[in-house]
Amino acid sequence: MSSILVFLAIAALAYFFWRKRSVQRGGPSVQGHLPGPGTYEFDIVGESKYQDALEAICGGRTEDSAEHMTEAVLHLEDSNPHDNLAVRVDIDGRTVGYLSRKDARSYRQQLKRLGHERILCRCDAMVVGGWRRSRTDQGHFGVKLDLPVA
């Protein structure tokens, strides 16, 4: 019996070390949280392509407009075929949109100025909209970030 417990303990340790190493290889971890003014006025673009993800994040549509508080992660997407300076916005591991081209460039410039060109940051976010009052009365989801608006 004790040999089984020892084996299980070693297997558990090996699993956790292997998992930690595989997560580290998978990409950078979130390294910072960007403070915001608490106004959630910073708009992103492209949410119309990610309505299924946003609906899942909010737990479905309701008669009322959503105001789902969450966190977003800002990914520098250098390999984006449409814009190699793109900044992707993910919530709960799902892509929900992008910073506009102008905002993405400004964000990257600010990171560079601070000496953190490759940092992966998170910020507070709110998913809004997405109501369904009838078959013909429904709204799209949108995302507002709690970042300063210039």
Q: What is the pTM assigned to this prediction?
A: 0.78
Using a pLDDT cut of 70, give the percent of the chain over it.
81
Render pLDDT for 98-140 as a digit per residue (tens, 0 to 9). Answer: 999 999 999 999 999 989 888 999 999 999 999 889 888 889 9
Residues in CB range of 55: below 8 A, 6 or more apart: 61, 130, 141
Alpha-carbon dihedral sign for residues 95, 100, 104, 107: negative
**Chosen CATH of 31-145 out of 1.10.10, 3.40.109, 3.30.70, 3.40.1350:** 3.30.70
Say whether pLDDT at 142 is over 60. yes
d(CA 138, CA 89): 24
Say whether pLDDT at 53 is over 50. yes
pLDDT attached to residue 31: 85
